[in-house]
Amino acid sequence: MTNEISRRPFVKSLLDARPSGLAVVAGLGSPCWDVAAAGDHKHNMYIWGAMGGAAMIGYGLAQAQKERRVLVITGDGEMLMGMGAFSTIAWKPTPNLAILVLDNSRFGETGAQFTHTSGPTDLAAIAEASGIKSVRSVSTLEEVDGLKSFLFNEPGPVVAVAKIKYEKLKFVLPSSSGSYLKDRFRTALMGVGKATLP
Amino acid sequence: MEDNVWQKETFSALRRQGIDLVCHVPDAGHAKVIEMCEADNEVDCITCTSEEEGIHLLSGAWLGGRKGAMLLQSSGVGNIINALAMPNTCRIPILIIVTMRGEYGEFNPWQVPMGQGTPACLEAMGVRLYRAEEPGQVASAVENMARLAYDSQQLCAVLLSQELLGAKDFRELAK
């Protein structure tokens, strides 16, 4: 089946429906630009580097903010690099964590080389076999709507793999200052006092 | 004489500093502290499949206001180098405790390159180091490097020397 999901409108429709308090961790490359394009938010943390880490960064955040829903939005390239995270998260699960993998089977930032998911590798199956109990794989627009309640409400950890179109899109850049992004994010969560003089 | 004195004091030092999230890729030198973390209901003790997961975990935890520490072996330092880019550029505090291999009395030559390269690799990524050579130094080193990390937003490592930990005798293990 041809993948018909277009990443920008998909991520925008998801984040337009974000529950108040939702924290979003955007993985490096296109997921950062998608999340920025949907509209900046003080509860967004954009990860411009540390490839492979988005799921574990979200997991650490979920461990720290147990009452808050945490949504990681990342790509197949990053998730392939950090697959062990599925095992680590499944073993000590956090019910407030959701991971969305935007899987276009390409390394989009580096020349659109094919990733392993263009071949035999299935990230949803890997998540499941790693012990993640709630896993969904979607590739059609009809399935996309149901993802909102899955990602925002279903007891986690949940993993959704969305097979999306490969598209060459303009970058939409959020701030690249790690210290600004971190302080803004922490201030939004815990107030300036605790955020800057712990 | 009481057993596991420096390990007990180290665990207490971590808890005094408000650290209640401990992750690790295990090493024999960390075994007792890992057991103490697992036995404490107020500590989340997370086993990672690879060391970079631990740095990402601590980075995310600090975004949410929680203090953690990672226990790893010097060979695992090689796995965390790029993961340190995030805490470095974001000024996120990190505390790691590294059991050293590949030095004093090492039997396994494969441990030597990463063990000997550990201080330079960490320093290149902006990590502040303190090397403990004596059991009596460990707990205060951990406590004060935790302060440097969390009070002054630094990346900090306590290295536990192989002389302090004792080298494995592989010939004995093969008997």
Q: What is the value of pTM for the model shown?
A: 0.97
Q: Is B147 on the interface with A (CB under 8 A)?
A: no
**pLDDT score for A2:** 64
Substitution target in A61, A69, A74, A189 with the highest count of B β-carbons within 10 Å is: A61
Q: Which amino acid is at A188?
A: A
From B49, B61, B150, residue closest to A84, measured CB to CB: B49
- What top-level class would CATH report for the domain B5-162? alpha beta
From A49, A53, A185, residue closest to B52, measured CB to CB: A53
Q: Is B21 on the interface with A (CB under 8 A)?
A: yes
Q: Which residues of B touch A178 (CB under 8 A)?
A: 86, 89-91
Given an 8 Å threshold on Cβ–Cβ distance, is B86 in contact with A49?
yes
Reported ipTM exceeds the 0.90 cut? yes
Q: Dump the DSSP string for chain A.
A: ----B-HHHHHHHHHHTPPTT-EEEEPTTHHHHHHHHT---TTEEE--S-TT-HHHHHHHHHHH-TTS-EEEEEEHHHHHHTTHHHHHHHHS--TTEEEEEEE-SEETTTT-EE-GGGTT--HHHHHHHTT-SEEEEE-SHHHHHHHHHHHHTS-S-EEEEEEB-------------HHHHHHHHHHHHHHHHHHH--
Which secondary structure element, helix H or strand E, spans residue B44, and what is its range? strand B44-47
Q: Is A56 on the interface with B (CB under 8 A)?
A: yes
Digit-coded pLDDT (tens) for B77-136: 999 999 999 999 999 999 999 999 999 999 999 999 999 999 999 999 999 999 999 999
Give the residue from chain A lying closest to B151, CA to CA.
A198
Q: Looking at residues A133-151, what average pLDDT do you find?
A: 94
Given an 8 Å threshold on Cβ–Cβ distance, is A53 in contact with B55?
yes
From B47, B56, B62, residue closest to A91, measured CB to CB: B47
Q: Look up residue B57 and give its two tokens.
A: 């975990």
Q: How far apart are CA B73 and CA B160, in angstroms?
A: 9
C-beta of residue A147 within 8 angstroms of C-beta of residue A162: yes
Q: In Å, what is the CA distance from B139 to each residue of A74, A94, B115, B159?
A: 39, 31, 22, 12
> Which CATH superfamily does the domain covering A7-196 fall into?
Thiamin diphosphate (ThDP)-binding fold, Pyr/PP domains (3.40.50.970)
Q: Which amino acid is at A183?
A: D
**pLDDT score for A125:** 98
Mind telling me how many Å the CA of A193 is from chain B's nearest CA? Answer: 12
Q: Which residues of B touch A25 (CB under 8 A)?
A: 60
Q: Look up residue A89 and give its two tokens.
A: 């998260």
Given an 8 Å threshold on Cβ–Cβ distance, is A84 in contact with B44?
no
From A84, A186, A198, residue closest to B53, measured CB to CB: A84
Q: Which amino acid is at B98?
A: V
From A58, A92, A194, residue closest to B60, measured CB to CB: A58
Q: Which residues of A touch B90 (CB under 8 A)?
A: 178-179, 181-182
Q: How confident is the model at residue A33 (pLDDT cuts 50, 70, 90)?
A: very high
**pLDDT score for A79:** 98
Q: Is A194 on the interface with B (CB under 8 A)?
A: yes
Digit-coded pLDDT (tens) for A55-110: 999 999 999 999 999 999 999 999 999 999 999 999 999 999 999 999 999 999 99
**pLDDT score for B1:** 67
**pLDDT score for B171:** 85
Domain parsing of chain A, residue ranges: 7-196
Beta bridge partners of residue A26, listed in sequence order: A46, A73
